[in-house]
């Protein structure tokens, strides 16, 4: 209730904005929290200025300069265990089944190597790459130009299967 009136449910509206995956956000938060915690320990115990920030790249840069000191710290094993657990969680979140779809011959001039779309991910998150056997890659902004190729390749029996 709001102001003594029951709330009215509004349906039929489209969601606006980007879709965020809660599991990935939670993992990212855990990474940030861990790095902030260890950076705070370094700043506190080494009496350093606290100008590190809370962005992961800045924290990693700061902590990488403290590796020797951290390795000698009595809690170094805890850091190792915590980082290992986060790495395992990250790998589990990102690693999963993948499959390839043949797209025929490479679209780069003069290249006759096979072109493939590789799709991998877990849950609702998918990571994709289009590349040929010679190493040429096709940026995502050009993928729609290749959309007919997947249909043509599968019609002729050249599509890739599950990897």
Q: What is the pLDDT of residues 86-95, one digit of tens each?
A: 988 887 776 6
3-state SS of 64-78? HCCHHHHHHCCCHHH
112: tokens are 């006759």
Q: What is the pLDDT of residues 54-112, one digit of tens each?
A: 999 999 999 999 999 999 999 999 999 999 999 888 877 766 556 788 889 998 899 99
C-alpha span between 163 and 25 (Å, rounded): 28
Residue spans of the domains in the chain: they are 22-94, 98-155
């Amino acid at each position: 209730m709001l102001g003594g009136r029951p709330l009215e449910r509004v349906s039929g509206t489209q969601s606006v904005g980007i879709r965020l995956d809660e599991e990935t956000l939670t993992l990212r938060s855990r990474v940030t929290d861990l790095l902030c915690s260890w950076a705070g320990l370094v700043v506190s115990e080494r009496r350093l200025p606290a100008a590190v920030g809370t962005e992961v790249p800045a924290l990693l840069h700061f902590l990488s300069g403290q590796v020797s000191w951290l390795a000698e710290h009595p809690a170094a094993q805890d850091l190792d265990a915590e980082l290992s657990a986060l790495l395992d969680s990250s790998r589990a979140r990102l690693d999963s089944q993948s499959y390839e779809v043949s797209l025929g011959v490479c679209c780069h001039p003069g290249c006759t190597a096979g072109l493939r779309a590789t799709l991998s991910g877990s849950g609702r998150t998918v990571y994709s790459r289009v590349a040929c056997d010679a190493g040429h890659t096709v940026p995502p902004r050009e993928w729609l130009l290749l959309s007919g190729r997947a249909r043509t390749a599968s019609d002729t029996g050249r599509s890739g299967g599950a990897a």
